[in-house]
A and B are shown apart, each in its own frame.
Chain A
Amino acid sequence: MRLFQEDILKNIQFEDDLILKVDHLQTTFYTHMGQVKAVRGVSFDLRKGEILGIVGESGSGKSVTAMSIMGLVDEPGRVSGGSIRYGNLELTKLKDSEMNQLRGKEISMIFQDPMTSLNPVFTIGQQLKEVILTHTSLTGAEAHERAIQLLRMVGIPEPELRVRQYPHQFSGGMRQRVMIAMAVSCNPKVLIADEPTTALDVTIQAQILELIQNLKTKLDSTVILITHDLGVVSEICTKVNVMYGGLVMESSDVIDLFENPQHPYTNGLLQSVPINVRGEKARLIPIDGTPPDLLKPPSGCPFSPRCPHTMGICQKEAAPLFRINDRHCAACWLHSPEAPQVPGYVQSKVGEE
């Protein structure tokens, strides 16, 4: 489809199964009120076949991280530091037109509110075909067939009929399925789902999550699932990053996270949510305080004002990620060898990452 542009993906290579490597990503919004530092140094690896959950409250920077990966951060914001590598491609250095070759084809994203995410004046079929025709060399008729196929794949009954219908003729859950169909239409390697179930009924939620999981297996792709709901995480994620105040607080295998949380924030989250992986009865304990103001981010650890175990150093410097084991790390000074033991809180003290 692109006439005069170089094919970015010509020389792409992946090492082992490392699909995406995010290194000290910083994204800032330059507003007239000041600089809002939404993402302040996030790093993680995404390996093939994972379902990475990024958990955090509003303002933690999780959505902005995803938008940064997609290159969809608009004025007055932009990626202000760090790197995002997709294979051997440095995404932060690409132009918008070059990113378009990746978006929808290699990396896809679906968003939170399906009711408003589809263009009301075009049919579902037209919107699906457009994506297909942009990234592949199928003919119009072939694209039409593929669209029907996709609708069937995501579980929409009577797809031949539905493909000619307009978004307002679909319910919320159906529209989200259509969104997913659009996102996977060109077999992307990475699917980013930003709170895909938040706006849906609980019953539909489960269906959508199942769909995502199935598709991931079928298309052999990797998923980043952004959510504030730990329940969702426990359902399908394989790995979890817990974010707060623009930084990653803890990163772990999903089971390890629930059984052996190693960050006071994660701990607080687990105690304040009415699900209990361990099946015990416990009180709901909310976390005191409010999220930080990203215009003037606190020096040191962003969670320090609300942490029950704050130490002197926590206010001076943000903690690096301490490695707990080979699948689990936490950004908390409590893991430093010099830190005292906290009664009732299990810390492992291993060296720095």
Chain B
Amino acid sequence: MRNYYIQRILSAILTLFLIASLTFFMMHAIPGGPFSRERSLPPQIQQHLEEKYNLDDPLIKQYFDYMVGLITFDVGLSFKKPGYSVSELITLGLPYSMEVGFYAILLIILLGVPLGIISALKQNKPVDYFVMFIATLGVTVPSFVVANLFLYFLAYKGGYISVLWPTEPGINPTFLQFLGPVVALSGYSLSFVSRLTRSSMLEVMRQDYIRTARANGIPRSKVIFKHALKNALIPAITYLGPMIAGILTGSFVVEKVFSIPGIGQYFTQSVTDRDYTVIVGTTAFYAALYIVMILLVDVAYSLIDPRIRLGKRSE
């Protein structure tokens, strides 16, 4: 059992390493540095800037510095926002992304799973069709469409909320303010989780061991919520891990539309600005978070499903 965990952790570290390196080299493969896109700078100034940012060091040294920096969480300074280090930017943006993300995750788990269960139990009845229809909409209508619709109707047309995200200290966003981004952010995942829970419940309810439980006189509610659910949640958990990472970091688009100063915003901004260190730094951060979540999911998985934990052995 311990082998399983060690293997997983090593694998995660390796992947992280690869991703970070990949990102680094990709960024440096771009012809011209970050400064060559501005209106032509006098060559001395350009050279001076490059020196300052160590861009004139041999690539290997830059790579080495970068990797070392990565471990100490120092990923360099932002090119385009002078004075800010990348880690500072990440720390600045994280709370905003996480706040919205947290509510989104809550919504997904507390609404998505029960809806899926209800749909499965009342299969092919009106409730099922209705829920599944909404879920299909949620999966297909893109998040930026939803986000813009919310922004338009709540902020511009209705004037219920401010157009910009409140960022002054002491002022907390209202419920309505959160409604737009949370729904836009969670829309896809909420629907996906509902559908997933539903289909996996349906699958599980058809299994022989459910029939056994019923044949032994176990009350129906226990059969559903104890025997079936535990098995049905396994695929949902697999999805939940990476989903949480994605949501906590804030969808790029949702943050842009609602002017939320989260990590997603910084990422998209850095992409447009070609601010390399920020791009590399945030990508590494995303990747790290993602991989950690997958690791956690694997652990949770093994706790629920004993076949994974103990290895499949039949006598």
Which residues of chain A have a CB within 8 Å of any CB of chain B?
A: 70, 72, 96-97, 99-105, 108-109, 111, 113, 116-123, 130-131, 134-135, 166, 168-171, 174, 179, 182-183
Is B313 among interface residues, defined by CB-CB distance under 8 A? yes
Smallest beta-carbon distance A179→chain B, Å: 7
Is B304 among interface residues, defined by CB-CB distance under 8 A? yes
Closest to B221 in A: A97
Closest to B216 in A: A104
Q: B40-71: which have CB < 8 Å to A? A: none
Given A104-B217, A113-B208, also A119-B315 (CB < 8 A): no
Closest to B215 in A: A109
Is B312 among interface residues, defined by CB-CB distance under 8 A? yes
The one of A108, A120, A121, A166 in contact with B216, judged by C-beta atoms closer than 8 angstroms, is A108
Q: Are A131 and B217 in contact (CB under 8 A)?
A: yes
Q: A109-B215, A121-B230 are in contact. List 13 more A-B contacts (CB 8 A).
A: A97-B220, A99-B217, A102-B217, A105-B217, A108-B216, A111-B211, A120-B306, A130-B216, A166-B307, A166-B310, A169-B314, A170-B315, A171-B315
A100 and B312 alpha carbons, distance in the complex (Å): 34
CB-CB under 8 A from B231, the residues of chain A are: 119-121
Q: Are B313 and A169 in contact (CB under 8 A)?
A: yes
Q: Are A168 and B313 in contact (CB under 8 A)?
A: yes
Closest to A167 in B: B209
The one of A101, A117, A135, A183 in contact with B208, judged by C-beta atoms closer than 8 angstroms, is A117
Closest to B213 in A: A119
Smallest beta-carbon distance A143→chain B, Å: 14
Q: Is the interface of B mostly helix, strand, loop or mixed?
A: helix
CB-CB under 8 A from A122, the residues of chain B are: 227, 230
CB-CB under 8 A from A70, the residues of chain B are: 215
Which residues of chain B have a CB within 8 Å of any CB of chain A?
A: 207-209, 211-220, 227, 230-231, 304-307, 310, 312-315
CB-CB under 8 A from B227, the residues of chain A are: 119, 122
Smallest beta-carbon distance B126→chain A, Å: 16
Given A96-B220, A117-B209, A121-B230, also A168-B306 (CB < 8 A): yes
Q: Are A130 and B218 in contact (CB under 8 A)?
A: yes
A-B CB contact pairs (8 Å), 9 listed = A70-B215, A72-B211, A102-B217, A113-B208, A119-B209, A134-B219, A166-B310, A168-B314, A182-B216
Given A97-B219, A168-B314, A169-B315, also A121-B306 (CB < 8 A): yes
Looking at A108, A109, A113, A169, which has the most chain B CB atoms within 10 Å of its CB? A169
Closest to B231 in A: A121
Smallest beta-carbon distance B237→chain A, Å: 12
Q: Are B215 and A108 in contact (CB under 8 A)?
A: yes
Given A104-B216, A134-B217, A134-B218, also A168-B307 (CB < 8 A): yes
Q: Are B312 and A168 in contact (CB under 8 A)?
A: yes
Closest to B233 in A: A121
Looking at A101, A104, A105, A135, which has the most chain B CB atoms within 10 Å of its CB? A104
Looking at A70, A97, A100, A171, which has the most chain B CB atoms within 10 Å of its CB? A100
CB-CB under 8 A from A134, the residues of chain B are: 216-219
Q: Are A72 and B215 in contact (CB under 8 A)?
A: yes
CB-CB under 8 A from B306, the residues of chain A are: 120-121, 123, 166, 168
CB-CB under 8 A from B220, the residues of chain A are: 96-97, 100
A116 and B203 alpha carbons, distance in the complex (Å): 13
A91 and B207 alpha carbons, distance in the complex (Å): 25
Q: Are A169 and B310 in contact (CB under 8 A)?
A: yes
Given A131-B217, A134-B217, also A116-B208 (CB < 8 A): yes
Looking at A102, A134, A135, which has the most chain B CB atoms within 10 Å of its CB? A134
Smallest beta-carbon distance A84→chain B, Å: 16
Smallest beta-carbon distance A159→chain B, Å: 15
Smallest beta-carbon distance A157→chain B, Å: 11
Q: Are A120 and B305 in contact (CB under 8 A)?
A: yes
The one of A101, A104, A121, A168 in contact with B215, judged by C-beta atoms closer than 8 angstroms, is A104
Given A120-B231, A170-B315, also A101-B217 (CB < 8 A): yes
A123 and B306 alpha carbons, distance in the complex (Å): 9
CB-CB under 8 A from A103, the residues of chain B are: 214-217
Q: Are A121 and B310 in contact (CB under 8 A)?
A: no
Closest to B214 in A: A72
A182 and B214 alpha carbons, distance in the complex (Å): 12
Given A120-B306, A120-B307, A168-B313, also A111-B212 (CB < 8 A): yes
Smallest beta-carbon distance B119→chain A, Å: 16
A102 and B216 alpha carbons, distance in the complex (Å): 9
Smallest beta-carbon distance A141→chain B, Å: 21
Smallest beta-carbon distance A236→chain B, Å: 21
A116 and B217 alpha carbons, distance in the complex (Å): 18
CB-CB under 8 A from B209, the residues of chain A are: 116-120
A204 and B223 alpha carbons, distance in the complex (Å): 31
Q: Are A100 and B315 in contact (CB under 8 A)?
A: no
CB-CB under 8 A from B313, the residues of chain A are: 168-169
CB-CB under 8 A from B310, the residues of chain A are: 166, 168-169
A100 and B219 alpha carbons, distance in the complex (Å): 6
CB-CB under 8 A from A131, the residues of chain B are: 216-218
CB-CB under 8 A from B312, the residues of chain A are: 168
CB-CB under 8 A from B304, the residues of chain A are: 121
Smallest beta-carbon distance A164→chain B, Å: 11
Smallest beta-carbon distance A169→chain B, Å: 6
CB-CB under 8 A from A183, the residues of chain B are: 216
Q: Are B212 and A179 in contact (CB under 8 A)?
A: yes
Smallest beta-carbon distance B97→chain A, Å: 35
Smallest beta-carbon distance B266→chain A, Å: 42
CB-CB under 8 A from A119, the residues of chain B are: 209, 212-213, 227, 231
A130 and B313 alpha carbons, distance in the complex (Å): 25
A134 and B222 alpha carbons, distance in the complex (Å): 11
CB-CB under 8 A from A105, the residues of chain B are: 217
Smallest beta-carbon distance A1→chain B, Å: 9
